[in-house]
Each structure stands twice: as structure tokens, then as C-alpha cells.
């Protein structure tokens, strides 16, 4: 059987650009080379798409970008040349790179030489995990790893996810949703509504974001104002949540229509909550425990069941990590959020949860690619009206 050409897309215009590069390096280095050839495609912070053929260890470090730009300048090529996307068949002199035609499929190469068989987007956050790029893959008609447009976009929007979780009957904290205009022009009414419904402290977050960017805990109305202002800068929709005094428990899900749940892990943040700094800057001081210790077996079982239900009710595919709180006093379980493209470095929670559940990193990559094909076949439609 011939090797499959897997496009690994990394970087992207998101606050999680760097994590994505580290995840992608791991994926490329650990994929089964007897089965797959990696085609590396990086997206710079300013949105340029560049194919890259250099050493993989320069991806995590960020040096890939300079190397790719230099190589492309020499050859006068790049993946999506600016302003030249409508010009017809072959784009740019010497375009031995991917783009070949002005069809969506052509972006990823159509000739036998350039053709991409399957895409592995190792992107996190906005523009990568939110259904936008998944829409492009759909248009191109190429199988891809992970959730489709719907699961990705709903999963990215915390406020919308809550509506679906509520419908599914999953336990979650109380919340309110506002839009930016309300925060900017009717702040007093917004505060009044929050104070009428929730008690301090409460959590304020942008509905669409990740890595705790723009997430703040507010303990009084002054802090609430500041927190709302920050969240409104980060997104058009703002979520205000009841504070849950909980342990942070995470569960990995793998599969398509019949997904399985891993064992559960715990994150013990080194800061007051699991903010950006605790996640990435003083990361070593935050502790990760796999499996989570001293959790009743019944709680673990329920979390695993809820994680699968969360995955299914958003029509997810491939992978997701579902995050929970377990109340420190009552032991009650609250679902917090779903991450449809979770961190994927070898030491990230998602792969580690699977390693602890018997699926090692390379096998996980293999399974995800197989699941991409399965979902692709499953999504094919017959149009019966013609």
C-alpha cells in the first residue's frame, strides 16, 4: 500500500500559535513513517500559509518561519499567494508547491505529485479549532482529523456550548450571556442583572477564546467592571459564570459515532485559577495527575459518561478533551468546557490520558487518521432529487 500524504497544519492566527507549533512537531516526529509522509504547512501569526520542508525541530522553536520564507523567496512560491487566488489554473512561477487551481481542492494540490490524502490540523483556538478551517477542508473534499464544522464552532463558543449541554441534561453552573454592545453601553444594567442572579466571586470570560485569555475572577462590582471590559475586548459575546470551588478534572474522548472515554486526570493550578500564566509561563509549577487521585469510582465513572455525552451532543468526531469541576465540598460534578483540538504535545493532557489508558502516542495518531477517513465516508451524501 502506498504511503498516505498527511498535511500537518500548524501555527495559525490565534493566541495558541506557539502551543500549536510544539504539538505539531510532536505529531510529525511520532507519526508512523512506514505509513505516512508528512507535508508540513505552517500558518504565520499574520495569516500567511507556507509549506515547509526543513527540520522538524525548528517548528517548535519558531525558526521554521524564516527558513520557509527564505526557501519560498528563492523558488518564488508559497502556498496561498496574496492576491493571486482567482487567476485561474497554475499560480506563481515554479509553483511546485500545493496550490494548483482555483478550486478549493486545488489549494491542497491535485496532481499525483502534490496531492494531499488527509489533513491533520494541529491548530488550537480561533481560526483553527472553531470550524473556520474545517469549512475549507469540507470545500476541498479532503478527509481531516477531528471535529467537523458544527462540533468545532459550537465547541469553541462557550455560551453556545452551554445551551447544548443544558439540553443534554449535563450538570453545569449557572451563567449569563451578554454581548459587547451591552457591556460597552449598558454597563450598569449588565452589572445589575449579574448581581441579581449570581453571587461574588464570579467568573467572566470571552465566549470564544482559549488558554484562559481574557478569563477573570471578579470578587466585587469594581472587579466585575474590569473583567467585563477585558472579556468584551476579546470577543463579541461575554459569559459570566457562577464560581465553582472545584478540583479541575479532565477526560479524553476518542472516536466518531461510538466514542470511548479515557481515564480521568487532574490539573492542580499553581495560581489562584488555571490562568494563562499557570498554563504556559510557570507551567512546571502546575501539577498534572493521571489518573486523578482520591476521586470516588462512581464520580470517575460519571465523568467518563458525561464526557462521551458531551462529545456526542455536539456531534464531535475524532477527538476532544472534556473538562470538569468536582466541587471540593459537595463532590458534585460540573461540566466546564469541551476542547475539540486539545493540546497534543507528548506531555499534553490528551495524549497522556490515552497513554495511561493503553493507547500510546503513535497509535493515537494512527487511530485519529483512520477516524478521519471513517468520518469522511460517513458524511458522503446521495442527492436524491436529481
User: Which residues in this chain contact ligand ADP in the complex, by CB under 6 A?
Assistant: 173, 203, 205, 209-212, 215, 241, 243-244, 248, 269, 273-274, 323, 336-337
Judged by beta carbon, residue 41 or residue 239, the one nearer ligand ADP is 239
Supply the minimum distance, in Å, between the C-beta of residue 146 and ligand ADP.
Answer: 17
For 119-137, letters b (16+ CB in 10 Å) and e give bbbbbbbbbbbbbbbbebb
What is the closest distance, in whole angstroms, from the C-beta atom of residue 302 to ligand ADP in the complex?
A: 19
**What is the bridge-based pairing of β-strands 118-122 and 202-206?**
unpaired
Q: What's the min distance (Å) between Cβ of 244 and ligand ADP?
A: 4
Which is closer to ligand ADP, CB of 50 or CB of 215? 215
DSSP SS3 for 157: strand
- Considering beta carbons, is residue 271 or 362 the nearer one to ligand ADP? 271
Cβ closer to ligand ADP: 51 or 208?
A: 208
Q: Which of 117, 323 has the CB closer to ligand ADP?
A: 323
Q: How far is CA 269 from CA 184, 275, 276, 278, 289, in A?
A: 32, 8, 10, 6, 11
Q: Residue of minimal CB distance from ligand ADP?
A: 274
Q: Which residue lies nearer to ligand ADP by CB, 48 or 161? A: 161
Query: What is the b/e burial string over 325-362, where b = at least 16 CB atoms within 10 angstroms of the residue's CB?
Result: bbeeeeeebbbbbbbbbbbbbeebbbbbbbbebebebe
Instruction: For ligand ADP, give the closer residue by CB, 229 or 242.
Output: 242
How far is CA 315 from each of CA 120, 150, 186, 217, rounded to the nearest angstrom? Answer: 19, 7, 36, 31
CA 51 from centre of chain: 22
What stretches of 120-220 show up as alpha helix (H) in DSSP? Answer: 132-140, 149-156, 158-168, 180-185, 187-197
Cis peptide before 201 (omega within 30 of 0): yes
CB of 323 to ligand ADP, least distance (A): 6
CA distance 261 to 386: 42
Least CB distance to ligand ADP at residue 214 (A): 8
Minimum distance from CB of 212 to ligand ADP (Å)? Answer: 4
- Least distance to ligand ADP, CB of residue 348, Å: 13
The residue assigned the cell 483540538 is 341
Amino acid at each position: 500500500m502506498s504511503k498516505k500524504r498527511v498535511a500537518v497544519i500548524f501555527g495559525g492566527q490565534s493566541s495558541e500559535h506557539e502551543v500549536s507549533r510544539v504539538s505539531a512537531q510532536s505529531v510529525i516526529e511520532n507519526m508512523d513513517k512506514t505509513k505516512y509522509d508528512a507535508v508540513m504547512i505552517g500558518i504565520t501569526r499574520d495569516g500567511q500559509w507556507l509549506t515547509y520542508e526543513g527540520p522538524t525541530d525548528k517548528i517548535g522553536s519558531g525558526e521554521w518561519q524564516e527558513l520557509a520564507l527564505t526557501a519560498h523567496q528563492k523558488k518564488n512560491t508559497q502556498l496561498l499567494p496574496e492576491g493571486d487566488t482567482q487567476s485561474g489554473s497554475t499560480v506563481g512561477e515554479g509553483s511546485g508547491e500545493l496550490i494548483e487551481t482555483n478550486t478549493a481542492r486545488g489549494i491542497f494540490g491535485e496532481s499525483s505529485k502534490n496531492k494531499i490524502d488527509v489533513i491533520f490540523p494541529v491548530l488550537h483556538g480561533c481560526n483553527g479549532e472553531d470550524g473556520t478551517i474545517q469549512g475549507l477542508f469540507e470545500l476541498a473534499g479532503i478527509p481531516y482529523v477531528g471535529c467537523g464544522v458544527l462540533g468545532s464552532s459550537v465547541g469553541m463558543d462557550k455560551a453556545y456550548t452551554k445551551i447544548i449541554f443544558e439540553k443534554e441534561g449535563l450538570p453545569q453552573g449557572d451563567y449569563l450571556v451578554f454581548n459587547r454592545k451591552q457591556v460597552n453601553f449598558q454597563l450598569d444594567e449588565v452589572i445589575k442583572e449579574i448581581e441579581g442572579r449570581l453571587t461574588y466571586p464570579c467568573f467572566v470570560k470571552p465566549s470564544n477564546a482559549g488558554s484562559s485569555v481574557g478569563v477573570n475572577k471578579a470578587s466585587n462590582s469594581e472587579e466585575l467592571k474590569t473583567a467585563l471590559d477585558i472579556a468584551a475586548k476579546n470577543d463579541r459575546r461575554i459569559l459570566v459564570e457562577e464560581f465553582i470551588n472545584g478540583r479541575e478534572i479532565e477526560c479524553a474522548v476518542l472516536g466518531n459515532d461510538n466514542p470511548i472515554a479515557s481515564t480521568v486526570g487532574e490539573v492542580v493550578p499553581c495560581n489562584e485559577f488555571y490562568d494563562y500564566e499557570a498554563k504556559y509561563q510557570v507551567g512546571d509549577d502546575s501539577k498534572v495527575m493521571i489518573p486523578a487521585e482520591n476521586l470516588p469510582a462512581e464520580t470517575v465513572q460519571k465523568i467518563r459518561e458525561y464526557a462521551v455525552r458531551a462529545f456526542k451532543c455536539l456531534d464531535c468526531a475524532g477527538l476532544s478533551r472534556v473538562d470538569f469541576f468536582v466541587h471540593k465540598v459537595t463532590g458534585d460534578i460540573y461540566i466546564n468546557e469541551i476542547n475539540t483540538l486539545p493540546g497534543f504535545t507528548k506531555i499534553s493532557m490528551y495524549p497522556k490520558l490515552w497513554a495511561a489508558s493503553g493507547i500510546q502516542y503513535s497509535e493515537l495518531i494512527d487511530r485519529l487518521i483512520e477516524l478521519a477517513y471513517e468520518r469522511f465516508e460517513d458524511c458522503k451524501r446521495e442527492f436524491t432529487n436529481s
